[in-house]
Amino acid sequence: MKALFLLIIVVLSFLDSFSQRITKHEKALIKSSSPSTHLYVTQSTIPNDLKILRANSFQISNPKRNIWEKLSKRMIATLQHPDHKGVGIAAPQVGINRRIVIVQRFDKEEKPFETIINPEIIISSDSLWKRIEGCLSIPEIRDTVERSWEITVKYSTLDGKTKKEVVSGFTARIFQHEIDHLNGVLFTDYIKPTNKE
């Protein structure tokens, strides 16, 4: 009986590590202003921010919850703010360690900002290409990063649908950069020490 009880505890805490409940702090941060208001962008040069940027983010267990829609709107507002205009952002960059990113879809005519939840890269092409990257969370560094030209990515949308897509080129690069953020990886990790100065 005791062993069974212990087993249940172990299984529950294992599941919890994948989809931890949203904290009061996260709720307060997301609800601190209107959906059209930008959020503070975490900076790699600030030790407390760097902790968030280096952490592994939690899976989102229910993408349809209103709070994620609000977060997504605020992340898009952040990307459109004149102080930090960008083509993609990941939740850790606004202080939330959850698996949600915004990607500007340059592969679509209107180039919309799309909300990508719990993304997983299933296939990465062997063919690679280099391009200069920067990051809203890393001041003053831009450098060349080599990434896969094409990826197959699986993710959830805000309405809870699962999508599987093949994306390539610049859009695939944004996906890869933002998904790295969810695993605590920064683009500067790919730069050789000699260029890093």
Give me the residue label for tokens 């087993």. Answer: 7
- Residues recognised as catalytic: 178
Give me the residue label for tokens 């063919």. Answer: 127
Question: Can you tell me the distance from the alpha carbon of 160 to that of 28, in angstroms, rounded to the nearest whole number?
Answer: 24
User: Do residues 108 and 68 make contact, with C-beta atoms less than 8 angstroms apart?
Assistant: no
Taking the complex as a whole, the smallest distance from the CB of residue 177 to Zn ion amounts, in Å, to: 6
Taking the complex as a whole, the smallest distance from the CB of residue 150 to Zn ion amounts, in Å, to: 20
Question: Can you tell me the distance from the alpha carbon of 160 to that of 66, in angstroms, rounded to the nearest whole number?
Answer: 12
Residue nearest to Zn ion (CB): 135
**Site stretch for Zn ion (CB under 5 A), options 24-32, 45-53, 77-85, 133-141:** 133-141
Spatial neighbors of 46 by CB under 8 A, at least 6 apart, are none
Taking the complex as a whole, the smallest distance from the CB of residue 151 to Zn ion amounts, in Å, to: 17
Mask of contacts with Zn ion, 21-60, x by CB under 5 A? ----------------------------------------
**Site stretch for Zn ion (CB under 5 A), options 38-46, 97-105, 132-140, 153-161:** 132-140
Give me the residue label for tokens 């960008």. Answer: 86
* Segment (H or E) for 68: helix 66-80
Of 135, 145, 167, 172, which lies in the binding site for Zn ion, with binding defined by CB under 5 A? Answer: 135
Q: By CB neighbour count within 10 A (0-12 exposed, 13-18 middle, 19+ buried), where does 19 fall?
A: middle
Residue among 89 and 158 whose Cβ is closer to Zn ion? 89
Cα Rg of the chain (Å, integer): 18
Residue among 39 and 135 whose Cβ is closer to Zn ion? 135
> Total binding residues for Zn ion by CB under 5 A?
1
Question: Can you tell me the distance from the alpha carbon of 115 to that of 112, in angstroms, rounded to the nearest whole number?
Answer: 10
**Site stretch for Zn ion (CB under 5 A), options 36-44, 74-82, 107-115, 134-142:** 134-142
User: Do residues 31 and 24 make contact, with C-beta atoms less than 8 angstroms apart?
Assistant: no
**Site stretch for Zn ion (CB under 5 A), options 43-51, 66-74, 104-112, 127-135:** 127-135
Asked whether position 174 contacts Zn ion by CB under 5 A, the answer is no
Residue among 30 and 135 whose Cβ is closer to Zn ion? 135
Which positions lie near Zn ion, rule CB under 5 A?
A: 135
